[in-house]
């Protein structure tokens, strides 16, 4: 499974992107669960966030959803943090 995250907005307005392929990872099952939950809770169009908050685009195997601070679910927050930290 390929998961990509784009984070935009924030105080400085700097965009950050990262992607991760779960194949062969020992935590793949956990990441698949997070991705499934993140997609289920995401929106088709970018939601309204808060001033200077981050907005996220999450794409999992070609399916894209949007979410924004502070309304991220726990699964979305953990998935975003993992992908932006470990992805390339």
- Give per-residue pLDDT as tens, 56-73: 999 999 999 999 999 999
Ranges of H-type helices in 1-88 = 28-41, 74-86
- CA 5 – CA 60 distance, rounded (Å): 9
pLDDT given at position 15: 95
Band of residue 53 on the pLDDT scale cut at 50, 70, 90:
very high
Encoded tokens for 18: 């990262």
Write the pLDDT tens digit of every residue in 30-44. 999 999 999 999 999
Nearest of 88, 44, 86 to residue 63 by alpha carbon: 44
């Amino acid at each position: 499974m390929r998961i990509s995250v784009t984070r935009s907005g924030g105080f400085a307005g700097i965009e950050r992107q990262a992607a991760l392929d779960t194949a062969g990872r020992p935590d793949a099952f956990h990441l698949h669960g997070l991705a499934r939950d993140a997609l289920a809770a995401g929106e088709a169009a970018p939601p309204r966030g808060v001033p200077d908050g981050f907005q996220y685009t999450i794409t999992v195997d070609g399916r894209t959803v949007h979410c924004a601070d502070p309304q991220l679910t726990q699964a979305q927050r953990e998935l975003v943090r993992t992908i932006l930290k470990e992805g390339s």
